[in-house]
Amino acid sequence: HPSPMPSENTKAPGPPNSWILYRAHALKNMPPVQPGEPRRNQGDVSQLVARMWREAPDTVRAEFERLAEEAKALHKIQFPNYRYQPRKKEDKER
């Protein structure tokens, strides 16, 4: 579902890359957790999806690269002043 419009003070998120889009697609297509089953550990899920990504045919990876380029173009329209600004090391510490 689409994100709400950001306010003036909200920092724009970066555009999703091909891996992020692939992971979201894989999660959406995983069977739901059945009652009585333990919840899925997101670290384990990411490792599983990462293995799937590495083993995916070039055609699949190319499709998600194309989707990432589309997302990047849409992001540029939504956030024309966006500029990637990595956080400084001291800003990352919690």
Poorest-pLDDT segment among 4-8, 25-29, 74-78: 4-8
pLDDT digits (tens, 9 = 90+) for 49-91: 999 999 999 999 999 999 999 999 999 999 999 998 888 887 6
The pair phi, psi for residue 81, each rounded to 5°, is -95, 5
What pTM was computed for the model?
0.75
Structural domain includes residue 49? yes
Structural domain includes residue 26? no
46 Cβ contact list (under 8 Å, min separation 6) = 23
Residue 79 token pair = 């956030």
Number of structural domains the chain divides into: 1
Domain of residue 68 covers 42-81
- Mean of the per-residue pLDDT values for the chain? 88
Poorest-pLDDT segment among 19-23, 30-34, 79-83: 30-34
Structural domain includes residue 30? no
Q: Which residue has the higher pLDDT, 9 or 58?
A: 58
